[in-house]
Chain A
Amino acid sequence: MLEAFWRRVFRFERRKARDGEVVLTLRRVYILPARAGLAFTVLLLLMLVGATNYTLGLGFALTFLAASCAMADMLLTVKNLAGLRLAGGRAAPVFAGDAAQFEIHLHNAGNADRYAIRVGFGTDAAAEHAADVPARGSAAVALALPARERGWLRAPRIHLETRFPLGLFRAWSWWQPDLRVLVYPHPETPAQPLPMRGAASEEGHGEVGLDNFAGIRSYQPGDPLRHLAWRQIARLAPEDGGQLVTKHFEGGAVAELALDFALLPQHLDVEVRLARMTRWVLDAEQRALPYSFRLGGHTYAAGLGDAHRAACLQALALYGREEVP
């Protein structure tokens, strides 16, 4: 009852949290003086002693004003954090060894802008991000976390902290978001050649011609422009290593690409086999060679494209850890 009253008085809360979201209520926000705040206390004591010793009426006034400003700072620091609504955002899959990005949305339903809110996992201060959340607006930060193992990677607890406006106090809160990122196995390096099994075509050995699409290869001067593989070119920006690629046609053999986990040498470690499968999926996609996929209970007919790729990679990521969290 009393808490509800204060909530109303300070208008910390305007909206109820939806599932997977949280509003940082007053109870969830902790506050302690920062080191600058402790130094400020010492300063105030010195000022008080000076004012007393020299009986400076205005000295008392200044000391008490400064102390009250610190109190106002405490209130504003709490208010800067309290009432913030947090929600998880996109969490795109990554390969093991890369950094997983967790997107966090900060919504501010209040009438005051919020500044300098540091968001991080609380483990590494340098990896924190600072965000400003405008009044009745929102901001998003993406927190990176190294993905070491394949499988689901859950977001750790998120630490939110602010010292705004005066830096004398440190207000902080913790939030466990309901966020996870799928981590694909790390693709094998160096890459093994794709397991192409040439099957004789019905026409027998044909001439090298333009009939049979056999994947793509790097553009070489002299290739006809109409053979450029626009779809693949568009997928990769040049700064990401993208380059001009040409459709490659072979006559004669129809390559059938089947990626089957069971066909891989059994003496290899499971993780190595998974890594190899991953690499092959990527290579096949890059060269735009349709491929079929088999892994444990997952069997996908030959196909190509983002959905196919994602399904295959997910199967690889979760192989042996099928338990859905």
Chain B
Amino acid sequence: MKALGPLTRDKQDTLLLVAAALLVVAPHFGHLPWWITGTVCVTLLWRVLLTLRGRRLPPIWLLLPIALIAMGGVFQSYGTLLGRDPGVAMLALLLAFKLLEMHAKRDLYVVLFLGFFLMLTNFFYSQSMLTGLAMAATLVVLLTVQITFQYTGTVPSLGRRLRLAGKMFVLATPLAAALFVLFPRFDGPLWGMPGDAQGPRSGLSDTMAPGTMTNLALSEEVAMRVRFDGAPPAQDRLYWRGVVLSHYDGRTWSRIGGRLYRRAGDAMTLRVDGKPLPYEVTLEPSQRRWLFTLELTPPALDVRGERVGVSDELESFTVRPIHQRVRYRAAAFADYAVQAGLDPALTGKWLQLPAGFNPRTRELGRQLRAEPGTTDMRIMARVLGHFRTQRFTYTLQPPLLGRDSIDEFLWVSRQGFCEHYAGAFVFLMRAAGIPARVVTGYQGGELNPVDGYMTVRQSDAHAWAEVWLAGHGWLRIDPTAAVAPERVRLGIGGALPREAPFGLSAFQNNKDSWLARLRFHVNAANNAWNQWVLDYNPERQRNFLAELSGLAGDWRVLAALPALLALGWLWRRLRARRRRDPVQTAWERFGVLLARRGIVRTPDEGPHSLARRVAALALPEEKKAAMAEFLELYAALRYRALDDDERHRSARRLAKLLSLSR
């Protein structure tokens, strides 16, 4: 600030404005094309130099071509001028150029209002808590700038202006919170959401090839958060069903049919038993249509604002891709049977195998089937036993496989991830004539003890198998569990202990380390942020208001409100009294006291004159002495120069004397 000291007020104000503009655009630098970032920075720097040197702003005939060229550049970069990203880019450029074209006070408002809007566009890219904090800080700075330009005479220091802006912010917060909660919200977009509304995200895809799952396993991104109404089930029961893959082309597993129709399958029969386990899922936007349900949830999902469908394979999906967080409630059953009475003729499509791939595996399947007296159950048990005993390993870094990937995996590498085990298992089952399919989804989840939410991350992505047995229907078989039971029992973190970064034990994935606890708290805060700030939708608003009105009916709340008001009023009164000069208060009380004894002070009468009249009163001596001392002390306090300490002591003595004079 020292360097700004000798600058004129005009220059200081302008530099502050440029700083605020930089603060507003800086978060956009991460996603703007490099040349726009550069142009904005150069323009701002230009403005700073012009200001420091006291030069005039460039003329319009120089600015206009530059602005037009920049617009052309935006078109070049994005291929369009419409839409979200080019819009943001143009706003950023406009803000920078407008700083070079400021002549009237009106232009200042244009710059500031552009700044406000640019702040809003930043939320397209990030809505984290940190972004929220940055927004609050930026808002205070923008307010400071706006205030700064309003002064006509003396201008307080930057600190005081910041404090005034902060005060406005604090004043605004309760009203803003009330508006946030009560302002009617509308469903969905007002116009068609542009395709680029959300960037690509990692997530479970509709196909599975080697590497699909391993890529996900490295992502700590949250896939969904789940809250169970009761106690959550054990880890090894947490199978979140997603996509069912049946078609194998030798390398990639994919869905049969491809397209999703909104219908409940004709051939689907479902029998559930036992107590339902209700839960609520908050699914992060995936840009795909899949909804994940705990196995096994009967297909009756209700997702607000979305039309939901279910396929014959018990996949739940939405009609539109999921661009925003969605929330749905469901109930799962532990005991179930799916399509137990399926006509074996209909199971043919679950036996499909590509010709000319993995001959050894096919041969093995045939051998298993050819064994005399074998049953489907026995074949399955033998294969799983094979996985268990033949030194198969579960790893995130499996070797690359060639054309006959399953052959290679089963006989050469024997290292794989869930996708390898599930794929190989299903292939082998089909080779042995057992209808089988791959199910992908998530397995496990981390329960946050702070808020009771279970977090399912992309790293929990998992693939398992389903085989159909006559009379039993589709059975879930997890071949990975045969190799690495801890994957299912403890979750991905337990199966693949990561090396402690920096060799610090605190960073280890240990539930009791302080870092883990901190992480739980951060996660809970993030979740609360998502649930209450980002996803405060009409549904949540309705529920919250219903809860609130229920609360208002409570007599305790009704009683507390007036009590709070009364407390606030009392506090104000007390504060007002404290602010009054105690000496003056004592003097006025003394006047009342004298009046009761028949001495009425004339307006021009001072303490010394009063002292003479008091001396003439017929009163006990000690009382008269106290009164005389009071008057003397009052005169001293009023008219003599005393230091603070002395003043304080005298004022207290004055109060004492007042009560003695009574």
Which residues of chain A come closer than 8 Å to B168, judged between CB atoms?
69, 72-73, 76, 165-166
Which residues of chain B come closer than 8 Å to A132, judged between CB atoms?
151-154
Q: A65-B173, A75-B171 are in contact. Are A56 and B127 (CB under 8 A)?
A: yes
A195 to B139, CA, bound (A): 76
Measured CB to CB, the nearest residue on chain B to A167 is: B150
In chain A, positions 31-47 with a C-beta closer than 8 Å to chain B are 35-36, 39-40, 43, 46-47
Measured CB to CB, the nearest residue on chain A to B198 is: A54
A280 to B480, CA, bound (A): 119
Q: Does B169 contact A (CB under 8 A)?
A: yes
Cβ-defined contact, B117 with A54, below 8 A: no
Q: Does B120 contact A (CB under 8 A)?
A: yes
In chain A, positions 49-78 with a C-beta closer than 8 Å to chain B are 49-69, 71-73, 75-76
Which residues of chain B come closer than 8 Å to A62, judged between CB atoms?
116, 119-120, 123, 135, 139
Which residues of chain A come closer than 8 Å to B175, judged between CB atoms?
64, 68, 71-72
B178-186, B380-388, B627-635: which one contacts chain A? B178-186
Q: Does A22 contact B (CB under 8 A)?
A: no
Partner of A54, one of B106, B124, B153, B572: B124
B58-66, B465-473, B532-540: which one contacts chain A? B532-540
Q: A62-B119, A163-B150 are in contact. Are A52 and B190 (CB under 8 A)?
A: yes
Partner of A65, one of B172, B183, B572: B172
A118 to B240, CA, bound (A): 68
Cβ-defined contact, B116 with A43, below 8 A: yes
A116 to B164, CA, bound (A): 15
Partner of B113, one of A43, A61, A67: A43
B1-9, B31-39, B141-149, B371-379: which one contacts chain A? B141-149
Q: Does A164 contact B (CB under 8 A)?
A: yes
Which residues of chain A come closer than 8 Å to B131, judged between CB atoms?
58
Which residues of chain B come closer than 8 Å to A39, judged between CB atoms?
109, 113
Which residues of chain B come closer than 8 Å to A72, judged between CB atoms?
168, 171-172, 175
Q: Does B348 contact A (CB under 8 A)?
A: no
Q: Does A199 contact B (CB under 8 A)?
A: no
Cβ-defined contact, A69 with B147, below 8 A: no
Q: Does A115 contact B (CB under 8 A)?
A: yes
Q: Does A131 contact B (CB under 8 A)?
A: yes
A139 CB, nearest partner CB in chain B, Å: 9
B564 CB, nearest partner CB in chain A, Å: 15
Q: Does A234 contact B (CB under 8 A)?
A: no
Contact with B along A104-134 (1 / 0, CB 8 A): 0000000001011010000000000011100
Cβ-defined contact, A47 with B171, below 8 A: no
Partner of B153, one of A75, A115, A167: A115
Cβ-defined contact, A57 with B179, below 8 A: no
Most chain B CB within 10 A, of A63, A72, A130, A132, is at A72
Most chain B CB within 10 A, of A52, A61, A116, A166, is at A61
Contact with B along A285-313 (1 / 0, CB 8 A): 00000000000000000000000000000
Q: Does B324 contact A (CB under 8 A)?
A: yes
Which residues of chain B come closer than 8 Å to A130, judged between CB atoms?
152-153
Cβ-defined contact, A68 with B189, below 8 A: no
Which residues of chain B come closer than 8 Å to A35, judged between CB atoms?
106
Which residues of chain B come closer than 8 Å to A166, judged between CB atoms?
143, 146-147, 150, 168
Cβ-defined contact, B109 with A67, below 8 A: no
Contact with A along B533-566 (1 / 0, CB 8 A): 1111100000000000000000000000000000
Q: Does B193 contact A (CB under 8 A)?
A: yes
A9 to B116, CA, bound (A): 33
Cβ-defined contact, A57 with B127, below 8 A: yes
A73 CB, nearest partner CB in chain B, Å: 7
Q: Does B197 contact A (CB under 8 A)?
A: yes
Measured CB to CB, the nearest residue on chain B to A77 is: B150
Cβ-defined contact, A36 with B109, below 8 A: yes
Measured CB to CB, the nearest residue on chain A to B197 is: A54
B189 CB, nearest partner CB in chain A, Å: 5
A120 CB, nearest partner CB in chain B, Å: 13
Cβ-defined contact, B173 with A68, below 8 A: yes
Cβ-defined contact, A61 with B180, below 8 A: yes
Which residues of chain B come closer than 8 Å to A58, judged between CB atoms?
123, 127, 131-132, 135, 533-534
Cβ-defined contact, B169 with A69, below 8 A: yes
A132 to B127, CA, bound (A): 41
Partner of A52, one of B147, B149, B186, B534: B186
A64 to B536, CA, bound (A): 14
Cβ-defined contact, B113 with A53, below 8 A: no
B197 CB, nearest partner CB in chain A, Å: 6
Cβ-defined contact, B116 with A116, below 8 A: no
B533 CB, nearest partner CB in chain A, Å: 5
Which residues of chain B come closer than 8 Å to A163, judged between CB atoms?
150
Cβ-defined contact, A56 with B120, below 8 A: yes
Q: A115-B151, A167-B146 are in contact. Are A57 and B534 (CB under 8 A)?
A: yes
Which residues of chain B come closer than 8 Å to A54, judged between CB atoms?
84, 123-124, 189, 193, 197
Q: A58-B123, A130-B153 are in contact. Are A71 and B172 (CB under 8 A)?
A: yes
A91 to B171, CA, bound (A): 42
Cβ-defined contact, B123 with A116, below 8 A: no
Cβ-defined contact, A57 with B535, below 8 A: yes
B569 CB, nearest partner CB in chain A, Å: 9
Cβ-defined contact, A60 with B189, below 8 A: no
A273 to B147, CA, bound (A): 57
A9 to B568, CA, bound (A): 11
Q: Does B639 contact A (CB under 8 A)?
A: no
Measured CB to CB, the nearest residue on chain B to A49 is: B190
Contact with B along A154-175 (1 / 0, CB 8 A): 0000000001111100000000
Most chain B CB within 10 A, of A35, A39, A69, is at A69
A165 to B167, CA, bound (A): 11
B211 CB, nearest partner CB in chain A, Å: 33
Q: A52-B190, A57-B533 are in contact. Are A165 and B120 (CB under 8 A)?
A: no
Which residues of chain A come closer than 8 Å to B124, judged between CB atoms?
54, 56
B506 CB, nearest partner CB in chain A, Å: 32
Q: A62-B135, A68-B175, A166-B150 are in contact. Are A55 and B117 (CB under 8 A)?
A: no
In chain B, positions 498-550 with a C-beta closer than 8 Å to chain A are 533-537
A64 to B184, CA, bound (A): 12
Which residues of chain A come closer than 8 Å to B152, judged between CB atoms?
115-116, 118, 130, 132
Which residues of chain A come closer than 8 Å to B121, judged between CB atoms?
50
Which residues of chain B come closer than 8 Å to A55, judged between CB atoms?
188-189, 324, 537
A286 CB, nearest partner CB in chain B, Å: 38
Which residues of chain A come closer than 8 Å to B84, judged between CB atoms?
54
Contact with B along A135-166 (1 / 0, CB 8 A): 00000000000000000000000000001111
A133 CB, nearest partner CB in chain B, Å: 10
Measured CB to CB, the nearest residue on chain A to B179 is: A64
A43 to B118, CA, bound (A): 11
A64 to B533, CA, bound (A): 13
Most chain A CB within 10 A, of B106, B180, B536, is at B180
Measured CB to CB, the nearest residue on chain A to B186 is: A52
Which residues of chain A come closer than 8 Å to B191, judged between CB atoms?
53
Cβ-defined contact, B183 with A167, below 8 A: no
B141 CB, nearest partner CB in chain A, Å: 13
Partner of A68, one of B113, B135, B176, B533: B176
Cβ-defined contact, A59 with B120, below 8 A: yes
A66 to B185, CA, bound (A): 18
B57 CB, nearest partner CB in chain A, Å: 21
Cβ-defined contact, B537 with A69, below 8 A: no
Contact with A along B101-140 (1 / 0, CB 8 A): 0000110010001001101110110010001100110010
B32 CB, nearest partner CB in chain A, Å: 18
A118 to B533, CA, bound (A): 42
Instruction: Report 14 cross-chain contacts, Cβ distance below 8 Å, ordered by A residue.
Output: A53-B189, A53-B193, A60-B185, A60-B536, A62-B116, A62-B123, A68-B173, A116-B151, A130-B152, A132-B154, A164-B147, A164-B150, A165-B164, A166-B168
13 further A-B pairs in the complex, CB-CB below 8 A; given A115-B152, A116-B153: A39-B109, A43-B113, A43-B116, A46-B117, A51-B120, A56-B127, A58-B123, A58-B533, A59-B120, A64-B183, A66-B139, A71-B175, A116-B151
